[in-house]
């Protein structure tokens, strides 16, 4: 059997406990597949240490480049036990074909070459800076933002959060109005929330090229807009 989890639930900002999940899988003799799309390169992520068999990521979140590519990392356990003796009859997920092709330095199909080059640049940049420093900066931005909004009439969730985003919860159903005011009056784009929380929650990202000064300005603008609703 297998457990498939998304480690950071991006719609709510909640970061699940990988140690607990990993232990559960070990105890129940399950493979562990992690959708790490919005936690990889946002929070610490250790595939080997946590016995994660498969990791799924994509270009447009932690890597901060254009959408268009998804990558799957497979560990040697699941490769030997499940992938190598599996005869896939689809163009998708035929990992044996992909692996034999990459051994000759090629891909079986033409990939999104432009995005490959963007990913290469992004990884080179992170490598040059050092992964720890890169992640630390995102964490510091998250901490800085959460401290700054402490004085405003809104709350943040009490469950463990990823450093990728902070959901901010308004006391009144004004989230969409705030989103529009930020966009139209201040040229600032934040993430609205879909579903039942649409009217109450906005999500603020801490990844990418936005910096501490941008976050400071954003909080000041939210503060100015909120005065209208008192």
Ligand X SMILES: *Cc1c(COP(=O)(O)O)cnc(C)c1O
Interface residues with ligand X (CB under 6 A)? 6, 8, 10, 35, 37-38, 58, 61
Of residues 46 and 216, the one with the C-beta less far from ligand X: 46
Of residues 70 and 86, the one with the C-beta less far from ligand X: 70
Query: Smallest Cα–Cα separation from 71: which of 54, 49, 88?
Result: 54
- Let me know how many helices (H) and strands (E) the chain has, helices first: 7, 10
Token pair listed for 150: 């402490």
Query: Smallest Cα–Cα separation from 206: which of 148, 161, 145?
Result: 145
Of residues 6 and 75, the one with the C-beta less far from ligand X: 6
Could you give the CA distance from residue 41 to residue 23 in angstroms, rounded to a whole number? 23
Residue 197 CB, shortest distance to ligand X, in Å, is 16
Residue 177 CB, shortest distance to ligand X, in Å, is 25
Residue 22 CB, shortest distance to ligand X, in Å, is 18
Rg (CA), the chain: 20
Residue 61 CB, shortest distance to ligand X, in Å, is 6
Of residues 25 and 37, the one with the C-beta less far from ligand X: 37
């Amino acid at each position: 059997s297998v457990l498939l989890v998304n480690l950071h639930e991006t719609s709510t900002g909640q970061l699940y406990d990988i140690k607990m999940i990993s232990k559960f899988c070990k105890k129940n003799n399950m493979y562990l597949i992690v959708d790490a799309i919005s936690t990889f390169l946002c929070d610490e992520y250790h595939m080997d240490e946590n016995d994660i068999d498969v990791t799924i990521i994509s270009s447009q979140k932690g890597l901060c480049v254009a959408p268009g590519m998804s990558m799957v990392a497979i560990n040697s356990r699941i490769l030997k036990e499940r992938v190598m003796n599996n005869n896939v009859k689809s163009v998708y997920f035929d990992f044996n074909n992909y692996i034999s092709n990459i051994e000759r330095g090629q891909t079986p199909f033409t990939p999104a070459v432009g995005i490959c080059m963007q990913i290469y640049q992004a990884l080179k940049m992170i490598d040059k800076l050092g992964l720890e420093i890169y992640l630390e900066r995102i964490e510091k931005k998250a901490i800085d933002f959460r401290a700054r909004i402490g004085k405003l009439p809104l709350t943040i969730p009490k469950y463990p959060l990823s450093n990728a985003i902070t959901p901010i919860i308004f006391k009144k159903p004004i989230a969409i109005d705030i989103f529009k005011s930020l966009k139209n009056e201040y040229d600032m784009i934040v993430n609205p929330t879909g579903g039942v929380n649409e009217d109450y929650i906005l999500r603020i990202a801490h990844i990418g090229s936005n910096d501490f000064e941008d976050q400071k300005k954003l909080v000041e603008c939210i503060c100015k807009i909120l005065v209208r609703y008192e």
